[in-house]
Structure 1
Amino acid sequence: MKYPLYRFDTPAAVVPWQAIDDRVMGGVSASHMRHDPAGHGVFAGEVSLENNGGFASVRALAEVPETAVGALACLLEVRGDGRRYKFNLRTDGGFDGIAHQASFQPPAGEWAVVRLPLEGFVATWRGRPASAEPPTAVQIKQIGLLIADRQAGPFRLDVRVIALGD
């Protein structure tokens, strides 16, 4: 993991992460990012399809080192639950706006490193396709995790590290 953005080995690592769930538009899904004493972060909660909802997410500011200028991918060391997730990148510090997304489905119950090439991220605005070039590593200002797989119920994604690399 060449350029770590977050290592979830201490309780302080989860403090900057904020939940942004479908409640912003009337839904009732709920999520959080918490620290597990085993030394990793946990993105967990419950997705509800009620009130036209269906997504849960967490987001944090990212401090990308200038030396990461040549990074080609986001690397996530994660343990999944069998569900599909999205990793979000934003190139500004705002709440709303264009997000660049890449989907991933890590193996259930086992740790794996997921590599998401920056050139494969798709621009979206409020979940709909948008027009924007994929970001470069040094343009990244915010990162996030999202679940919006149209399945109601509990979810859990364990995260050790989020980094940039080759």
Structure 2
Amino acid sequence: MTAQTIVNFKENPTTNNWKVVDDVVMGGRSSGSFSLTSEGYGQFSGEVSLENNGGFSSVRCAMETLSVSPESKIRIRLKGDGKSYQFRVKHDRKAYYSYITEFDTTGDWQTLEFTLADLRPTFRGRKVDLPNFDQKTIEELRFLIGNKKPQEFELLVEYIEAIYGFD
């Protein structure tokens, strides 16, 4: 088994490739931000609003193309606020859909692993009629919160790795 670092904010403290995308793109009023904490974590935080048919905030990382297989896993070290989030990947940053999974946070540090083949294709919250992740690359990562209620949120990220070599 081999682990490849995709992002490690303590080793490479930059947010250059990260961009917040909120529901304001469609008239909503949610507001998220992404920054580095003084402890060296990526911090995705803000407020989700349901005003003007809004209801989500997300942060995406455009990355160099990463070779993967459906059996590859993504390992993330994070600390949430007890709320539910989505983790999303795109095999092609120009694709209209993402492959997603949901996860719950506990308020403590967690190390989560997701097998790419378990991520399902969606577009704007609706399932797309395609198979689960069956691609050979990843070009974008994203975290999203959209739990159909107004709420403040905070998600700290230490690192994201790709795990290879499963038999």
Per mean C-alpha deviation after superposition, the further-off stretch among 126-135 and 140-149 is 126-135
Note the 1:95-114 alignment, pairs <5 A.
Answer: 97-108=96-107, 110-114=108-112
Deviation digits for residues 88-143 of structure 1 (CA, Å, limit 9, x no counterpart): 1011122x6011111011221x2110111112111101221102233357421111
Percent identity, please: 29
Q: Which amino acid aligns with 1:46?
A: E
Is the CA contact (8 Å cut-off) linking 1:106 and 1:114 kept in structure 2?
no
In terms of fraction of residues, the more strand-rich structure is 2
The one-letter amino acid of 2:109's match is W
Map of 1:120 onto structure 2: 118
Tell me if the contact between 1:48 and 1:55 (Cα under 8 Å) persists in the aligned partners: yes
Cα distance in 2 for residues equivalent to 1:10 and 1:48: 34
Give the count of matched residue pairs. 163
1:77 matched to which residue of 2? 77
Identify unmatched segments of 5+ residues in structure 1.
Answer: none
- Equivalent residue letter for 1:19: V
Higher share in helix: 1
Distance 1:71-1:3 versus aligned 2 partners, 3 A rule: farther
Q: Evaluate the alpha carbon distance shift between residue 9 and residue 138 of structure 1 in structure 2; reply closer, same or farther with a 3 A threshold.
A: farther
1:64 CA drift (Å): 4.8
Give 5+ residue unaligned stretches, structure 2.
none
Q: Aligned-pair distance for 1:159?
A: 0.3
* Partner deviation per Cα, 1:133-166 (whole Å, 9 max, x = no partner): 3335742111100001112121000000011115
Matched position secondary structure for 1:14: coil
Distance 1:104 1:47 in 2: 17
Q: Give the match for residue 29 of structure 1.
A: 30
| Cα pair distance change 1:155/1:98, threshold 3 Å | same
74-83 vs 55-64, which moves further:
55-64
- TM-score, normalising length from structure 1? 0.89
Corresponding residue number in structure 1 for 2:39? 38
**Partner residue, 2:56:** 55
Number of the residue aligned with 1:146: 144
**Distance across 2 between alignment mates of 1:15 and 1:138:** 25
Using the TM superposition, give the Cα deviation of residue 71 of structure 1 relative to its aligned residue in structure 2, in angstroms: 5.5
Q: Distance in 2 between matches of 1:105 and 1:16?
A: 25
SS class of match (2:14):
helix
Hey, what's the Cα distance between the residues in 2 that align with 1:132 and 1:69? 17
Report the CA distance shift for 1:48/1:11 in structure 2 as closer, same or farther (over 3 A): farther
Q: Find runs of 4+ consecutive structure 1 residues off by over 4 angstroms.
A: 68-71
SS in 1 for 2:64: coil
Root-mean-square deviation over aligned CA pairs: 2.0
TM-score in terms of structure 2 length: 0.88
